[in-house]
Structure 1
């Protein structure tokens, strides 16, 4: 390969259409609330910004040149795409999703049963990390890259399980938010541990392990295939650490503020009770 694809290869119009349609539906029926749905409340500006950011990042990962270059030329670009789609996009989408819209789907018994099962913390945790690790086995990735239908199907399943994996942490439904902040921090830590072996396999390999990237001529970089492979592992590990670290910090400080607020409220109540008792003693005197 020596030539980069055409404009529509680099900027996928189908993915762009999907993003625009989803964005329009969100803006028209979700962001402003809709009187046709019970309990439909307007979405906050923060939620809107998060949802639209998630859509933009999805297009960058799936419809921009990162996707094409990662599929045909650079393993490092492919790993950048993976981390954006599976470690970042679901967070923004979940934060931008109002509780009432998800409750509409939960009214369906079949959907509710399947969704509840696959978003159980341990199941979601191990399912995503297992599928993600299997995907990066050399014979699996080489095989999938040769068949567009299988590759699309596997990526779709990975994306769905990534959303399931992030749901216990950024759950928009209070009634399904079963993990307290300390358990969420442990959950994130467990995610990082399970993802590390795949990173280590790629970073510390002494030779190229993916045939599809071994004999590619890249017209715009001087990276060797081995350097590109190691760079891909480093990108995945660094972005994972940044995302998980930021999530841990967010949850920790939220927990810390809540604990401080509870302590302050308790101190206020005790002070008020003390003053009331003193007032009663004075009146009796």
Structure 2
């Protein structure tokens, strides 16, 4: 399964999605314009740091890699590739893009009272964690995933909802807006632990199922869904290198490992920051008044 083979088999547009390359480039241009020459159009705008620019740039690259690269094609034939795609899009990419976004760039989103209430509600830790994990588990029910893989509108709608839910899920941990960053460091540790627990049943069901769960990965897909178009697939064009059951188990393991590594890295970062703040706190502030 080489890049040359995928390009020759499915064509350049289906394999590399030039429309998504253009969209990604426009998003990057907008970000660097508003954090650069156009920064002064925002109130209280401060220059984006090198760290923020790096995080946002990597997030954009992962957005394209997850949605528009050959990984999207492979994800229609291999469940393990599909789960790698899901991990990148919903566990890693939103985290990096939020970390790279200055607070003043998002402040117009809460300029209106009604929009501030909506964002505050859905970024609250309990709704945020329940919404993402419920939608993710719902998407990986066999009937839903098989339907989404064969209908472009449903496929794109679910991706959009999960991207939004994943962004809201990360906001209590790394919210660029102080108004919605309501968790202490210890609470963030508990929040991430709860996230890991809630996603475990879906992964366990996939890993320990005694039979293949998804017809799409048993019989082969009939439709290639890309963000801006779909195309029928000749199933004989692609040789799957793994039996469906083994591929399914590998996919569940990939998802769980990616989750553990991502959450583990963020947990370590939060714990280190909390420890440093506690260590550097003046002794007289630790004494009872």
TM-score of the aligned structures, taking structure 2 as reference length: 0.88
Q: Which residue of 2 aligns with 1:184?
A: 188
Cα shift readout 1:46-100 (whole Å, capped 9, x = no counterpart) = 00000001000110000100111102x1111111000000000011001101011
Q: Which residue of 48, 52, 58 maps to 1:53?
A: 58
Q: Which residue of 1 aligns with 2:258?
A: 239
Q: Which residue of 1 aligns with 2:33?
A: 28
Q: Which moved more, 1:214-223 or 1:20-29?
A: 214-223
- Post-superposition offset of 1:215: 2.2
Look up the SS of the partner of 2:219 in the other structure.
coil
Q: Which residue of 20, 32, 44 maps to 1:39?
A: 44
- How many angstroms apart in 1 are the aligned matches of 2:168 and 2:18? 27
Q: How does 1:1-285 map to 2 (within 5 A)?
A: 4-31=9-36, 34-71=39-76, 73-216=77-220, 219=238, 221-262=240-281, 265-266=282-283
- How many angstroms apart in 1 are the aligned matches of 2:69 and 2:135? 24
- Post-superposition offset of 1:151: 1.0
- Post-superposition offset of 1:33: 5.9
- How many angstroms apart in 2 are the aligned matches of 1:171 and 1:269? 28
The 8 Å contact of residues 144 and 151 in structure 1, kept in 2 or not, is answered as yes
TM-aligned CA distance change 1:175 to 1:112, over 3 Å:
closer
Give unmatched runs, 5+ long, in structure 1: 271-285
The 8 Å contact of residues 56 and 96 in structure 2, kept in 1 or not, is answered as yes
- How many angstroms apart in 2 are the aligned matches of 1:36 and 1:139? 48
Look up the SS of the partner of 2:43 in the other structure.
coil
Look up the SS of the partner of 1:248 in the other structure.
helix
- Post-superposition offset of 1:266: 2.1
- How many angstroms apart in 2 are the aligned matches of 1:269 and 1:139? 56
Q: Which moved more, 1:24-33 or 1:155-164?
A: 24-33
Q: Which moved more, 1:137-146 or 1:126-135?
A: 137-146
Look up the SS of the partner of 2:41 in the other structure.
coil
Counting matched residue pairs gives 266
Decide which structure has the larger Cα Rg and report it: 1
- How many angstroms apart in 1 are the aligned matches of 2:114 and 2:259? 33
The 8 Å contact of residues 80 and 250 in structure 2, kept in 1 or not, is answered as yes
- How many angstroms apart in 2 are the aligned matches of 1:48 and 1:142? 38
Look up the SS of the partner of 1:6 in the other structure.
helix
RMSD between superposed Cα atoms in Å: 1.9
- Post-superposition offset of 1:221: 4.9
- How many angstroms apart in 2 are the aligned matches of 1:105 and 1:54? 20
- Post-superposition offset of 1:220: 5.3
TM-aligned CA distance change 1:151 to 1:221, over 3 Å:
closer
Give unmatched runs, 5+ long, in structure 2: 221-235
Cα shift readout 1:142-201 (whole Å, capped 9, x = no counterpart) = 112111101100110011000000000001122321100000000000000000011001
